[in-house]
Structure 1
Amino acid sequence: MASLPDVIQAYIIAYNDKDVEGMLACLSDNVSFRNISGGQVTAEASDKQCLAEMARFGVSAFETRLQTITNAITVADTTLVEIAYSAVVAKDLPNGWKAGQELAFSGASSFRIVDGEIVSIVDES
């Protein structure tokens, strides 16, 4: 992950470690988050507190989870990354995923950084 800005690298490491406080330490108070799957917005957060609630749910929803950066490019304050994602579901989830189910897919994320903090994350798969 050497080509990533430090704050994004720290965020991904905390995400993979299921370290919510470590993730939050990388974020601006007014961070915005959006997850887009199949062209549809499936999750949104408009501030750090809302994203913290989503992150805590995510920690409990997966036995394991791993984001691996496969490619990255930074232009000005925005870094675009391609991600290989794998996880094992910990409990049956509202979207139909079942406990013990193994997930593997690829996607892309856009991170925008201002004053050393992540102010925007858009995940797309």
Structure 2
Amino acid sequence: MTTPAVSSRDLPHPLRDEVRLEGVLHALADPMRLRIVRELATASGELSCSHFELPVTKSTTTHHFRVLRESGVIRQVYRGTAKMNGLRRDDLEALFPGLLDALLEAATRQAARLAD
């Protein structure tokens, strides 16, 4: 069962045991969501939604973050008025050892290949 929202500012997240491989793969199959995850993976901490400059509308950006959160790839929390995002690396590594690193490495190689 997902973590219940305690207040209107708490966002529901799946518990570790609820995260499904097909949900993670679906979330990461979209280029914009993969871009968000790649950026979060290189960050030293959480990043606000407004940090990301995506070539899509604000509502589409919100949708991408929701898909990532609901699939268990990221954790979102409010800090003041900012919605902060962090990669759930520990949960993903415990459930699917090596998957996130392999996907991120493949995405980096693909980006380099397509830039040529």
Q: TM-score range by the shorter chain?
A: 0.3 to 0.5
**Greater helix share, 1 or 2?**
2
Q: Which has the higher strand share?
A: 1
